[in-house]
Structure 1
Amino acid sequence: MFVGIIYCLLTSLIREPQRRRFHAVMVGGAGAAYLSGGGFGVWELPAVALMTYVAYRGLDSWTFIGIGWLLHTAWDLVHHLKGNPILPFYHDSSMACALCDPVIALWCFRGGPSLIALVRGWFGPGRTTDHAHGGASATS
């Protein structure tokens, strides 16, 4: 989960519309991540085809990118249960990915807003900490 937050934070550095396009490419790559392992044989191919379609639609839609991350979450869980992890040298890598991907999906369903801008808004100009009342207050 923490990795998903860091991923969203770092990719917030990419300006729109390039941020959405970057995420579409990433979700397409995530869809092909299990292909070389072949844990489900020929069934890996339709999964990759579906993720490729979703990634393509994601070039113009944050919603499709979010759907792609949720599809990848499901594929992570199936591979974890079968014992065929995304990283063969790390047994729980598919489960770790399944915990991370929904965080990214939720962010995408929100339109992939810049978390950097959000944090700056919380702590930017015009905000100070009011120690007497234990909270933040506007100074304007």
Structure 2
Amino acid sequence: MNYLSPILVGVLYALLMSLIREPHRRRFNAVMVAGAGAAYLSGGGFGVWEFPATAAITYAAYRGLESWTFIGIAWLMHTAWDLLHHIKGNPIMPFYHESSMACAICDPVIALWCLRGGPSLISLIRGRTARGTARPHTVDH
């Protein structure tokens, strides 16, 4: 399995999300992680246990409507669920056996970005090239 691609997908996700202005970026990401939390519902292989896992991730995503920290936590919860599916359950994409492991590598990259407050990477890059240092950002909790 290629381990670099899922990392790049996580970085690309954060870059694309940087095109959305705050507070819409935070709210959009809360919706995205709620959707990711439901990804295994139609056949993840853990039967009825798929429902409480989805509910827990959805709750964290709901709290994420007002907190980047909760969005990061929800992505880490999804990471744990991905790992369990890779070890014992069904892959997130039935046609790609390693998809749950790839997701488990990608999700923490997104989670780290969220735990840093979901800063605009585009603004950070522009600030670094314009002044030689990154612009400080604020974290809303």
Give the alignment's TM-score, normalised by structure 2.
0.87
Which residue of the partner structure matches residue 107 of structure 1? 113
Which of 68, 74, 77 in structure 2 is aligned with 1:68?
74
Higher Rg: 1
Deviations 1:29-85 (A, max 9, x none): 010000001410000010011111111100000000000000000000000011510
Instruction: Indicate the residue corresponding to 1:116 in structure 2.
Output: 122
Aligned counterparts of 1:51 and 1:69: Cα–Cα separation in 2? 8
Write the mapping of 1:42-53 to structure 2, written as runs, cut at 5 A: 42-53=48-59
1:132 maps to which residue?
none
Could you say which structure has the greater relative contact order, defined with CA pairs below 8 angstroms and 6 or more residues apart? 2
Give structure 1 regions of 4+ aligned residues with deviation exceeding 3 angstroms.
none
Question: Partner of 2:110: helix, strand, or coil?
Answer: helix
Q: Please state if 1:12 is matched with 2:15.
A: no
The amino acid across from 1:6 in the alignment is: L
Q: Which has the higher strand share?
A: 1
Identity %: 76
Match of 1:96 in 2: 102
Measure the CA separation in 1 of the matches of 2:90 and 2:120. Answer: 35
Aligned residues: 127
User: CA offsets, 1:2-45, max 9 Å, x none?
Assistant: 11001001100000000000000001001000000141000001
**1:36 aligned partner:** 42
1:83·1:91 contact (CA, 8 Å) conserved in 2? Answer: no
Identify unmatched segments of 5+ residues in structure 1. 128-135
